[in-house]
Amino acid sequence: MNNKNNIKEFKFPPDFLWGASTSAYQIEGGLVNDWSEWEKKNAEKLAQRAKNYWQPWQQEMFPEMFDPDNYICGKAMDSYNRFDEDLKCITDLNLKAYRMGIEWSRIEPQEGKFDMEVIERYRDFLKKLKNNNIKVVLTLWHWPLPLWVSKEGGLTSKKIVKYFESYVKLIVHELGDLVDYWITLNEPLMIIGHGYIDGKFPPNKKNDFISSFKVFNNYIKIHRNIYQIIHKKFPQAKVSIAMTTGYFEPAHKWNLIEVIIAKLAHYFRNELFINRINKQLDYIGVNYYHHDRIIWHPPFKENLNKEIDDRGWEFYPEGIYRVLKKYKKYKKPILITENGTADARDKNRERYIREHLKYIHKAIQEGVDVRGYFYWSLIDNFEWAEGYWPKFGLYEVDRKTFNRKARPSVDFYKKVCSENKIY
């Protein structure tokens, strides 16, 4: 639609949830769990590998990648002590919703010993959001495990289902009345891929298909179980997972092998998990960052990478539209629970958001029920095995003073959130 100045406008549905996301471990600070232990053992190695792992321009731009400290989460963004500062970023942006996590290892540092002060603190955070009319999207698990859980076999052990259950029962009881949307698990497939296939994340297993299979099944059981627990207390609850999605296309549409690989990749990455929990999904949480152009020979992927971000991730906004169109068949509401770019200089963030939103708008016009968009991330954070150098935040965080400072694209996103439209 054109406005009176003849500029094309893209209006979003009324009540569209404009949001931003974070996760507990990546911003809270002061945590002890399997990730923090892993960092201690691997920081040196990760700093040394940077020379062969990242492109020369990245090495030049982010010399901190050679410093082992970059790979230690430590105080993170100190958000556990600075919730009010994060809240100010949220309200300044005029967000309608905030996706945040709570950290299992902080809540239950020892088996069965729940720290009620921590619960009170989280309750306080959630109440503050509610008092500001901000809807709460709560992630129950975004990757780390308490140390005692990982000692008991972690994700591969059947016991994890019961352990997770008792943690979540407490959360549902203590915090459930303040939650609008639940996310049981964040990107389970990412942990299988990096933890048990390519060995990039803890527990650093490579091509361990037996463990991958066990973890996959445990995730399914956990989700189904938690879904029932939440619904028992809150029948109207909206429960989902955050799916790591990707758009796969054959490099040559006439090449049958590439067509088949792309279809298989789509099935395994985007659909299999959803199909297994379809009856226990009230909506679908979509994280979208990636497009893969499939070729028929190793390494099976050759992106054109006309534009990439600081991490080397391709700018490919059309991909979000393609994923959304594929998800239409599930006939469920969708929240874009993550979409964002590592852009330390904030040169392309505004365009990144705008172009993705245009494609989301197109999908909505074509009948896909998208109800909200959450930019990743509200503030800079700890980027797992990459540590601190990639900067995804709308707000920059000074890691010495922990001051939050708006990057220029905040003005743009604030306008979008306030006007419910883009130009």
Q: Write out the residues near ligand BGC by the rule CB under 6 A.
A: 23, 26, 186-187, 190, 244, 287, 338, 376, 383
In 3D, which of 291, 322, 320 has the Cα closest to residue 307? 291
For ligand BGC, which is the closer residue by CB, 119 or 265?
A: 265
For ligand BGC, which is the closer residue by CB, 23 or 270?
A: 23
Q: Output the smallest distance, CB 287 to ligand BGC, in A.
A: 6
Q: Output the smallest distance, CB 142 to ligand BGC, in A.
A: 6
For ligand BGC, which is the closer residue by CB, 191 or 237?
A: 191
Q: Taking each helix axis from N to C terminus, what angle separates 349-365 and 318-327, rounded to the nearest 10 degrees? A: 30
- Classify strands 421-422 and 10-11 as parallel, antiparallel or unpaired: antiparallel
For ligand BGC, which is the closer residue by CB, 101 or 250?
A: 101
For ligand BGC, which is the closer residue by CB, 280 or 287?
A: 287
The residue sitting closest to ligand BGC, measured at its beta carbon, is 187
Cα 334 from chain centre? 15
Q: Output the smallest distance, CB 194 to ligand BGC, in A.
A: 10
Report CA-CA distances (Å) from 69 to 88, 326, 402: 29, 42, 16
Pseudo-torsion of CA 24, 82, 335, 313, nearest 10°?
-70
Q: Output the smallest distance, CB 69 to ligand BGC, in A.
A: 19
Contact criterion met (CB below 8 Å) for 154 and 113: no
Task: Examine residue 21 and say whether the peptide bond preceding it is cis (omega within 30 degrees of 0).
Answer: no
Point out which residues pair with 375 in neighbouring strands.
20
For ligand BGC, which is the closer residue by CB, 176 or 393?
A: 393
Q: Output the smallest distance, CB 198 to ligand BGC, in A.
A: 14
Tokens representing 357 are 């939103």
Instruction: Tell me how far apart the alpha carbons of residues 339 and 341 are, in angstroms, rounded to a whole number.
Output: 7
Q: List all residues 6 or more positions away from 397 whose beta carbon is below 8 Å from its beta carbon.
A: 77, 379, 380, 403, 404, 405
Q: What string of DSSP letters covers 154-172? A: GGGSTHHHHHHHHHHHHHH
Q: Output the smallest distance, CB 337 to ligand BGC, in A.
A: 9
Q: Output the smallest distance, CB 358 to ligand BGC, in A.
A: 22
For ligand BGC, which is the closer residue by CB, 95 or 242?
A: 242
